[in-house]
Structure 1
C-alpha cells in the first residue's frame, strides 16, 4: 500500500473503532509516510493534530528497524492468520467477490479477538475471561455463529454460505496453531509443574463451536505413585449451571495458576 491507501484504511479504523491515543507499528514505508503526511507525532513526542485529527493528540510509536520481534504479540497473530489465509485462498477454485472477502475478514477478526487473555473473576461458578473483543465491545458473550453445518460444497452456493464455510476452515486451523503457542514444548524427559487445585485451564475440545473456548477450574487432582498429576477433575460453568469433567492433563492448557499452588 502507498501512503494514500494507508490513510484511507486509517480513517476506516477510526470510523469503526473511534479515536485512539497510541499507535504501535513497525517502520513500514507506508506507515512512516502516512505519519509524516498526517502530522502525527512519533516516539512519544506529543503534538496537536490540527486539520486531520480534529486537534486530538495521537502518539505513534515505531519499533526500531529490523526489529519485528519487538512487536511479538501482534506479529505472532498476524503471522498465524496470514499463513492460514494464504493456504486457504490459494486453494480456492475462483477468486472471491469483494463482499465475500470483506465479510470473511470480519469473521476472521472476530475469531482472533475471541481468544482468552486472562480471567476476570476468581469465582469457579462464573469464570469470566477477558478477551480482546471484551475490551472492544464491553461484552462478555461470544460472537454468535449461524446454525448449520458448512463444508466445501458451500463454496459453490450463496455468498453468505461461502463466507461461513471459509470461516469454519479458518477457525479449525487457527485454533490448532494458536493453542500450540500457549503450551511450552519440552522433551518428555523434562519435569514440569503439576496442575493444582484452583488452576484455571483451557480444554482442547475438538468439538467446540466457533469462537467458543471451554475453560474450567480444577477442583481435584489425582497424583500417581510418582507424585505426577496426570488426571484432574474440572468444573465448567455453562448456561448458569456447572458440570464436572475428568480429563487427562494432556488435554489441558494451563492459563492461570491458583494463588496457593500445592507444593
Structure 2
C-alpha cells in the first residue's frame, strides 16, 4: 500500500486541506399554487477535512457557477479559508464539473482566496478512503429516506436536516482517548474544531408521525431516521469483513469496545471494557461480558461478540 497522504499528517487548523463532492438532487416545495405545489431541486456539497475527519455540508439550489461560488464562500466564512481543495474524477463529478463551468471564474475566485483545486486520478475512488466512505453512506441513507417520504419538504426543513446530519456524522468516534471505563470519553471530529464534546439531542421523543406536523419536529424525526440508519451502517464499516477461513485473535479481558445497541440515543457512542470471556467448545470466544459507565453509573452487559466493535486491544 502507498504511504498515508501528507495532507492527513499536516499539523494545521481544521479544514485546511479539504476534499468535497456534490450529491443529490432532492425535490422541495418552493411555493403553493392553485393547482397544487410548485417544486424545485436541491443539491448538497459535502466538505471533509483530511486531518480532523470532520465534515461540513452546504445546500445549493443549482449546479452552476454562482451556486458553487456561494457554497465555497459560505464554507470559507464558517470554517475559514482552505489551502487546498480536492475532488475525485468520477463520472458523476466530471458531469457536474461541466455544469459547474469550472472555468476562469471559479478558478479566479479560488486564487484570490489563496486556495488551489486539484483533481484526483480517475477510477481511483480507493484513494479517497475516509471521505469516500462518509459521502457514500450519507448519500445512500439520504436518497432512500427522502425518496420514501410522503410529506413535502421545504427548503428550510432540508437545510436544517443537513445541519443535523452534519452533527450526527461529526459525532462519530475516531479512537478512544482513555482506557479507563470510569472516565469514558470518545474523541470525535466535532471535538477538534469546537473543543467541545458534542451537541446533545433535543428533548422529547420524535416518531415517524412527526414528519407530518410542525417543521422543527419534522426535522428531528428525519434526523432520528438518519441516525438509526447511520449507526447501523457506519459501525460495520469499522470491522474487517472476510471469509472465516483464517483463525483470528480471540477477544481478551481488558479489550476496549464500542457497543452496538439498537436503543442507543442520538449522538451517543457507549464505550465498554471487556471483563470476562466465555469460550465455546472449539476454544473461540463468541460470548463476552463487558462493563460500561454512563454518568457515573457502572453497568455490566452479557452478549455475543457480534454486538461489540473492537476499538483497542489490551496489548
Which of the five TM-score ranges fits, normalised by the shorter chain? 0.7 to 0.9
What corresponds to 2:186 in structure 1?
129
What corresponds to 2:86 in structure 1?
24
Are 1:9 and 2:71 counterparts?
A: yes
Are 1:38 and 2:109 counterparts?
A: yes
Match of 2:209 among 112, 135, 153: 153
What corresponds to 1:43 in structure 2?
none
Q: Would you say the 8 A contact 1:204–1:252 is kept in 2? A: yes
Q: Would you say the 8 A contact 1:6–1:31 is kept in 2? A: no
Are 1:165 and 2:221 counterparts?
A: yes
What corresponds to 1:197 in structure 2?
253
Q: 1:66-85 counterparts in 2 under 5 A?
A: 66-85=123-142
* Cα offset, 1:226, TM superposition: 2.8
Q: How many residues align?
A: 244
What corresponds to 1:212 in structure 2?
268
Q: Would you say the 8 A contact 1:114–1:131 is kept in 2? A: yes
Instruction: Using structure 2 for the length normalisation, give the TM-score.
Output: 0.71
* Cα offset, 1:203, TM superposition: 0.9
What corresponds to 1:232 in structure 2?
288
Q: Would you say the 8 A contact 1:222–1:230 is kept in 2? A: yes
Are 1:242 and 2:298 counterparts?
A: yes
- CA deviation digits over 1:136-160, x for unaligned, max 9? 21112x4211222222211211000
Instruction: Using structure 1 for the length normalisation, give the TM-score.
Output: 0.84
SS state at 1:88 partner: helix
- CA deviation digits over 1:197-217, x for unaligned, max 9? 221111111101011111112
- CA deviation digits over 1:183-203, x for unaligned, max 9? 222345543221112211111
Partners of 1:180 and 1:147 in 2: CA distance: 28
Runs of 4+ in 1 over 6 A off after TM superposition: none
Match of 1:90 among 134, 147, 151: 147
- CA deviation digits over 1:7-33, x for unaligned, max 9? 110111122222333433224424954
Partners of 1:193 and 1:98 in 2: CA distance: 50
SS state at 1:222 partner: strand
What corresponds to 1:256 in structure 2?
312
Partners of 1:210 and 1:35 in 2: CA distance: 38
- CA deviation digits over 1:11-69, x for unaligned, max 9? 111222223334332244249547622253xxxxxxxxxxx43xxx4454431133222
Q: Would you say the 8 A contact 1:198–1:217 is kept in 2? A: yes
* Cα offset, 1:94, TM superposition: 3.8
* Cα offset, 1:6, TM superposition: 1.3
SS state at 2:222 partner: helix
Structure 2 stretches lacking a partner, 5+ long: 1-62
When residues 197 and 66 of structure 1 are mapped into structure 2, their CA distance, relative to the original with a 3 A threshold, is same
Partners of 1:167 and 1:58 in 2: CA distance: 33
Partners of 1:205 and 1:19 in 2: CA distance: 39
What corresponds to 1:47 in structure 2?
none
Partners of 2:283 and 2:306 in 1: CA distance: 16
Structure 1 stretches lacking a partner, 5+ long: 41-51
SS state at 1:132 partner: coil
Partners of 2:244 and 2:207 in 1: CA distance: 37
Richer in strand (by share): 2
Are 1:104 and 2:161 counterparts?
A: yes
